[in-house]
């Protein structure tokens, strides 16, 4: 039996009525075969959440409850089996690979383990500039100023 992640919110600034992210009925199911019998593992099954401008969303739960899979499915790093994901009103599940890469510039997963999220051998500035380079944000000389 899978536990359901707890959603925690904090908000600051922005128009709190503006919905940035709207996730409805998100599902990620994996087909598996156990002892010759086909089954389905329901990694994520029916997540609904809305994130408004200025809010920060935290998914909290025990290991294996679907926190990471939910984030990866929203970003389409794992393809959802069902549901809807809209960012600023745009249907993310309908986007092609190039368009989805453009949208990912505005979404981020930060894991609870800083060693999984940050490279201790890189300075914070180098880490931020590296992300801007990967997503081709700004001109090379303007990245450090930003």
Q: CA-to-CA distance for 42 and 141, rounded, in angstroms?
A: 46
Residue 97 reports pLDDT greater than 80: yes
Instruction: Write down the pLDDT at residue 134.
Output: 85
Instruction: Write down the pLDDT at residue 145.
Output: 86
81 in Cβ contact with 26 (< 8 Å): no
Q: How many CB atoms lie within 10 A of CB 80?
A: 23
Instruction: Write down the pLDDT at residue 3.
Output: 44
CA nearest neighbour of 23 among 81, 92, 115: 92
Instruction: Write down the pLDDT at residue 6.
Output: 46
CA 78 from centre of chain: 10
Residue 1 reports pLDDT greater than 80: no
């Amino acid at each position: 039996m899978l536990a359901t992640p707890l959603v925690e919110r904090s908000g600051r600034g922005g128009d709190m009525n503006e919905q940035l992210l709207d996730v409805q009925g998100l599902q990620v199911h994996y087909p598996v075969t156990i002892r010759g019998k086909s089954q389905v593992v329901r990694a994520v099954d029916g997540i609904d959440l809305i994130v408004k401008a200025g809010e920060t969303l935290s998914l909290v739960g025990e290991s294996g409850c679907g926190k990471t899979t939910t984030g990866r499915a929203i970003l389409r790093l794992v393809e959802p089996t069902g549901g809807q994901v809209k960012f600023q009103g745009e249907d993310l599940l309908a986007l092609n690979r190039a368009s989805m890469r453009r949208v990912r510039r505005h979404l981020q997963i930060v894991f609870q383990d800083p060693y999984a999220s940050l490279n201790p051998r890189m300075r914070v500035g180098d880490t931020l500039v590296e992300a801007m380079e990967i997503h081709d944000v700004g001109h090379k000389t303007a990245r450090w100023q930003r």
